[in-house]
Each structure stands twice: as C-alpha cells, then as structure tokens.
Amino acid sequence: MSTQARVVSTHVDSYWAATAGPEPDGIRTLEGDRRAEVAVIGGGYTGLAAAYRLAGTHGLDTVVLEANPIGWGASGRNGGFANISVGKVALEDRIRRWGVEAARRSIAVGVEALDTVRELIAREHIACDPGQDGYVLVAHRPSAVADLQERVRLYRDVLGYPHVEFLHRARLREGYLNGPEAFAAMRTRDAIGLHPMKYVRGLAAAALRRGATLCAHSPVTEWRREGAQHVLVTPRGVVRAHRVVMATNGYMPEGLHPFFRGRVLPATSNIIVTRALTAAQWRDVGMRTTQVYADTRKLLFYWRRLPDDRLLFGGRAGLTDTPAGQRRCRERLESHIVAKWPVLRGVTSEYFWSGKVCLSYDLMPHVGTVDGDSSVAYALAYQGSGVAMSSYCGGLAADLLAGKDVPRDTPLTAAPIPRFPLPALRQAYLAGAYVVYGVKDRWG
C-alpha cells in the first residue's frame, strides 16, 4: 500500500509556534535502512506517548516516523485544554445505553488520562505553562441552565464524581465570567490549560531520553508486508519493524493500510489569539482565572486567558481550506468575541490558525489492534479533546503491542473503531451536521 505525502518544513504561523522556543535536540530525518522492534507512524502526543512507553517501560527498540516537524498536527495547534472528556456521547446517553457502571468507568478513564499528563509533566520536568485547575462550561443562553444543573446531578448523585459544581449567574460573575452569554456554568475541577507545543516538545525530549529514535520530515509513503516484517518506506529510507503503532489521528493517510479506510472524519477547528488585554478589560470580561472555558453550543466555542494576558478563542466549523474560507472563519471568531463581551469591540486577532480534530462514527476514542493482525495497534479519534486522552491512549497502544494485559471494560478498548456508512459521503455528513447544529445553537 502506498500514498503520496507532502512534507512541510515548518509549523503553521501560530501563537504556540511563536512562543515555544527551540525544537528538542536529537531529532533526525530517516536516512537509509533501519530495523526496529516497533515503528510508530505519527509524531504527536499519541505517537510520542507510545514511544515513551515502548522504549522506556518495555525496553523495545522504537522508531517514530513523522511526516513533518514533531508536533506539526493537532498536537501543536490545539487550544491546550487537558481535561477528562472521553468522546462526545452525552452523559445521559452513556448511562442509558451503557449502564451506570460503564458510564462511571468512562469518567474514571478521563481522570486517569489527565493524571497521565500531570505525571508526565512532573516526572519529565516539562515546562509547558500549566494553568489553574478547572474547566468551566458556560450556559450561553437561559434554556441551557437546567441542562447544566442536571449534568451536575448526574455526575455527583448517579456516577459518584464529586469534583463538579453548579455556578449560578451571580456566582459566575464573582471572578469567573461576565457578559450577555453567561447565564450559569458547570465547573469541573479536573482540567488544566497548558502550552501544547511546549508539551509535545517535552514529550519528544522525554521519549529521546528513554531511548526512542525520532525521525521528523520522514513521511511513510508505502507500507507493505514481507513475511513477519512491516516495511515502511520513506523518501530517504526504510524501516523494517515487527510491530507498528498508527498514531496519525485527524491527519491519517488512509491509503497506507486498508483497515483505516473510512473510519475517521477530520473536522476543522480554528483559533485566534488577541493582543494582551488590559487589566480593566479583563475585569470587564470577568475572568480572574486561567482555568479553561467552553460554552454549551453544539458547535462550541472555547477560550482561555493566556499567561501573558492574551485571549485565546476557538471554535469548530469551516469546510473550505481556502484563503477566503480562512478569512471568514477568522472574522466569525472575532465577531463572536464581541457578542460574548461587547467591551472588547475593536480588539482584533494577532494570530489565526486552524487544524484537524478527528471524529469517529460513534463519537468515541478507540484503542485496539487491526482486524486479524495483532502486530498493528492504533489509538485515535479524540473528538477534539485529545491533549489528555492521546497521552493516555498512546501508552495503552504501547502496552497492547508489548503484550501487556490491557483492560477491555473501557469505552476505549471494548470494541474496534467502526467504519462510517458510505464513507465517501463523510464530508457531506459533516456539512449537514454543521447546518443542523447551527440552527439548534441559534434557535434551540
């Protein structure tokens, strides 16, 4: 199986790239033939966490192959929200469809994922600017308030998760948020904001210290089998490995392996970052905290106060990756900042960029091995909440390939990732969803 890959030499022009500092030492480009016990395709959070575990814990000779610079994809472009989200299946739907125990286990998995990030930052001394604990989900209109109250009840009374609270409007205005789209909120303790590119580079340095080989600018253009070996061809070299981890998420080249065709749907998320706001502007906005925020829209907006007092603001949608389409997305985000905080009228963005989040048909992340071949593992489809989940799932994929007993009672591992029905229509599904969700967000 072969595919064409376009190699990009630099990161997108983002606030993260401008403030991340240098790349880690020791990253190379694959040259010539290389044998390894495990090859990892993808040099983002998932692939680096897998390599860290494979080389450091299991002692396996591991090579990471990244098409572009390390962390070039979603791992270097996201909003830096590390939280306990596990997919996009609503809490009440988990309880109804899976049962209370499985729903409770999904919360525990999310907490384990965030703990993985915290432990990696502490153990490896990753300087990635972690913020205050907390994720605030804001009711953007009055009709969403009752839903948040019910979610808090489900978390606390049904699932036994105590670290969540309801913030009525008056409490919300006591240092959390002001504005015409802030009617109440649900605050979850287990979340942090961080600098995503500093974090991915810290993971890369940690994997290198553990003995993994990291190869950037080394896209896999062909993948074939020769007996028990996987042969991964790049423009300037070849890796022959006994086992492979697929860790490309929303940037997956589907033509490389038949199992992955039609199983993921990349969707665009866009981010702007403003100039530093003044102390008076932050008082008007009401955010005296560096916790992370989102609202209750289906096509949600998310935002945070950065350490240098800039506002980061992001949102989904956008189907065309053209200059005109990108300009419309940027203008849309700027207009929604004004809708949320009219006092910020005239504050435009200094940075704008976009990236791909990865959706699955069942709206859940998945970790497993391909059908009929336990030598190929995958971890992917984090539904736009991948900082913590990918760090956790990369380690699970590593454990699978190392032969470790991985629990099968979690929503991540209980079933293989499903294929989309009529996968050629995936972009049409997405466009239709944007229309429906947009109407619901506006009119309820």
**Average of per-residue pLDDT values in the chain:** 93
- Give the C-alpha distances (Å, rounded to integers) separating 300 from 323, 348, 359, 442: 23, 20, 15, 12
Q: Give pLDDT, residue 112.
A: 97
Question: Do the Cβ atoms of 85 and 355 come closer than 8 Å?
Answer: no
- Geometric angle at alpha carbon 297, from 293 and 300, rounded to 5°: 55
Average pLDDT rounded to a whole number, residues 28-37 = 97
Residue 438: pLDDT band (50, 70, 90) is low
Minimal CA–CA distance to 355: which of 386, 332, 379, 324?
386
Residue 7: pLDDT band (50, 70, 90) is confident
Residues in CB range of 334: below 8 A, 6 or more apart: 272, 348, 349
User: End-to-end distance of the chain based on CA atoms, in angstroms?
Assistant: 46
- Geometric angle at alpha carbon 368, from 62 and 424, rounded to 5°: 110
Q: Which residues of 48-84 are buried (b: 16+ CB within 10 A; e: fewer)?
A: bbbbbbbbbebebbbbbbbbbbbbbbbbbbbbbbbbb
The pLDDT tens digits for 117-129 are: 999 999 999 999 9
3-state secondary structure of 328: helix
The pLDDT tens digits for 219-249 are: 999 999 999 999 999 999 999 999 999 999 9
- Count of beta carbons in the 10 Å neighbourhood of residue 437: 16
Which of 349 and 407 is assigned the larger pLDDT? 349
3-state secondary structure of 357: strand
Residue 410: pLDDT band (50, 70, 90) is confident
Structure tokens at 162: 């105590």
Alpha-carbon distance of 128 to 198, in angstroms, equals 5
- pLDDT greater than 80 at residue 365: yes
- Geometric angle at alpha carbon 257, from 251 and 263, rounded to 5°: 60
- pLDDT greater than 70 at residue 256: yes
pTM, rounded to two decimals: 0.95
Q: Give pLDDT, residue 1.
A: 65
Residues in CB range of 75: below 8 A, 6 or more apart: 44, 45, 196, 197, 199, 200, 386, 390
- pLDDT greater than 70 at residue 29: yes
3-state secondary structure of 430: helix
Q: Give pLDDT, residue 443.
A: 57
Amino acid (one-letter) located at 436: V
Q: Give pLDDT, residue 424.
A: 79
The pLDDT tens digits for 279-322 are: 999 999 999 999 999 999 988 999 999 999 999 999 976 656 67
Alpha-carbon distance of 302 to 293, in angstroms, equals 6
Average pLDDT rounded to a whole number, residues 324-349 = 94
Phi and psi of 51, rounded to 5°? -65, -40
